[in-house]
Chains A and B, each alone.
Chain A
Amino acid sequence: MSLLQLDHISRRFGAIKALTDISIDVAQGELRAIIGPNGAGKTTLFNLISGFFPPSEGKIIFDGSEITAVSPAILVKRGIIRTFQITEIFLDLTVYENLRVAAETAMGLNLVPFMSRARRQAIESKVDELLDLVKIGGKADRIAGELSHGDQRVVEVGIALSRQPKLLLLDEPTAGMGDEETHHMTGLIRSLNKDQKITILFIEHDMNIVFGVADRITVLDNGTMLAEGNAAEIAANPRVQAAYLGQEA
């Protein structure tokens, strides 16, 4: 069953065609990578799915209903959660405080002006759950802004998970990371998909990661869809080799 369907989507900015006639079908439980050279339209695609702006043409269907012009705030509540290319976390707060405000938001408690013991415990157990999920419990009391770039991205994924996403959109989750951090992040992505059964769509530049992690791969180039398939099919696709892999390798 498909969770997300993009039906002949196009997006123009004035005279510029950012995306042209894209149709993508993401199945429930899939781990899908979006690759393509700079300017291929990958982030534009994420902005369309997460409701930053609507497509110029075409329909987006999520979880059985059309979401083509639905606002980001409502999509968040329906279960589409994204991270950003530039990490968006609460830099001056501890990791724990970052996840706590996310948990409180997910639990709909933001207006609560005093903390009862029962409520504190409910919040704490939710935060502990998130800390375990992204495996950053050991750094819970560190100020987020003092963490490495990789750990900050892990915190961001933790914040995203607080909303119990049905569809998680990760915009270049390993960009700028060292080998060890990359390894941690890809392990996390895989475990969220396999163990937590979260459908994940991620943008990635590193071919090794894409081929190693993704179930299926969609290749964009210049705003159009170049190819789609599993790692072996993509690697063997001559158009992909010409447009993308050739330059990279």
Chain B
Amino acid sequence: MSDISSIAPRDASATKPTRAMPTSRTGLIILAVMLITLPFWISYVGGYTDLASRVLIYALAGMGLNLLLGFTGGLSFGHAAYFGLGSYGVGLMLKYETHSTLLALLVGTIVGGLAATLLGPIAVRRRGIYFSMITIAIGQMFFFIAVRWNALTGGEDGLAGFSRQPIAGIPLGSNNLYYLILIFFGLGAAVLWTILNAPLGHTFVAIRENRKRLTFLGINVDRYIAISFSISGFIVALAGGLNALLDNFTSPDNLKYTLSGNLLIIAVLGGMRNFWGPLAGALVFILVQDYVSNITRNWMTVIGLIFIVSVMYFPKGILGFFGRRSRS
């Protein structure tokens, strides 16, 4: 929404504000066209399709996390758990149970999402930093299980020996896999968008804004944070599952708190109050990782510097900075 319409008096025919997600239809179409045609031009700008796939996966995970972080106000430091569970779910299914890539993805997503659904209600019983501490503890629990349970997970070496299988006879080369990931990215984004534009999403945002007010309208706030936690877990698990397909591999790194931190960086860097913020965050994060890690192993230092500068000078993130809305 532009500044002008936000100060103009409202008349009965005016469009209702959708300020939580200020994305114009044109912008959305441009984004869709760019993503759909990406395999045809990516090499001309010095990239490659798998890199774009990685950006989409981390963007999806960041957007899933952001439902809880940016739109409900819950700071989780443990979402790697659900990413990792999704990836191990996919890996184990493909290795031991099925040749169906889609079934493996479904199982991985459900395993990770269910874990978030069951564990969220424990974390939401505490507030603020204690909530965050519990999410870390829960996340690390799965990390240590994966490291220790060598026979099943391959331990610290990670889980190899599976590969994505053709879907309906179509082999999943780089480009086809990219489109599969794009479809799930689109589905995930559509689910999040729909929720955020419905009473459920309005309730999440109201919790972020003023818990007390909502409590005294008769809302059981903890229950709704747990619901947000659960949905967020399902989306992040889906992203983790897609990541296992991209790598044909997963490891405890996908369950580790450093990944939880990276997902938070992606959301905050891109703009956590902005629906598409994590996409911008993932783009910067993955590109820096890819290009700078060719030059130095200390690529995280560069991310760290970008993050510090971003938080100090553009606290609303990349999209928040470029967004036209003023909120002083």
Interface residues of A (CB under 8 A from B): 50, 72-73, 76-77, 82, 88-94, 96-97, 100-102, 104-106, 109-115, 123-124, 128, 137-143, 159, 162-163
Contacts and interface: CB of A to CB of B under 8 A. Distances in A.
A117 B223 CA distance: 27
Interface string B209-248: 1101111111110001001000000000000000000000
A106 B219 CA distance: 10
Contact of A92 (B1, B8, B10, B209): B209
Interface stretch (B36-44, B179-187, B198-206): B198-206
Contacts of A163: 217-218
B126 interface: no
A109 B224 CA distance: 12
A8 to B, nearest CB: 27
Contact of A73 (B5, B10, B220): B220
B194 interface: yes
Chain B: number of interface residues, binned into ranges: 35 or more
Given A96-B10, A104-B203, A141-B7, 15 more contacts: A76-B218, A90-B206, A93-B19, A94-B19, A97-B17, A97-B20, A101-B205, A111-B227, A112-B199, A113-B195, A113-B200, A115-B194, A115-B197, A115-B199, A141-B6
12 contacts: A76-B217, A90-B205, A90-B213, A94-B6, A94-B17, A96-B17, A101-B202, A104-B202, A138-B9, A141-B1, A141-B8, A163-B217
Contacts of B224: 110
B37 to A, nearest CB: 30
A137 B219 CA distance: 26
B297 interface: no
Contact of B199 (A73, A88, A104): A104
Given A77-B218, A90-B210, A96-B17, A101 B327 contact: no
B69 to A, nearest CB: 15
A200 B5 CA distance: 36
B25 interface: no
A206 to B, nearest CB: 25
B219 A88 contact: no
Most buried by A among B17, B200, B213, B224: B213
B161 to A, nearest CB: 39
Nearest to A91: B209
Nearest to A138: B9
Interface in B133-183: none
A53 to B, nearest CB: 14
Nearest to B10: A140
A100 B327 CA distance: 20
A110 B197 CA distance: 12
B209 A90 contact: yes
Nearest to B218: A76
A141 B10 contact: yes
A135 to B, nearest CB: 13
Contacts of A91: 209-210
B286 to A, nearest CB: 30
A114 B17 contact: no
Interface string B1-15: 100011111101010
Most buried by B among A94, A101, A124: A101
Interface string B302-328: 000000000000000000000000010
A7 B23 CA distance: 56
Q: Would you list the 9 A-B pairs with minimal beta carbon distance, nearest first? A: A90-B209, A76-B218, A104-B199, A109-B199, A140-B10, A88-B213, A101-B206, A110-B203, A115-B198
B222 to A, nearest CB: 12
B235 to A, nearest CB: 13
A110 B17 contact: no
Contacts of B227: 111
Most buried by B among A110, A112, A140: A110
Contacts of A112: 198-200
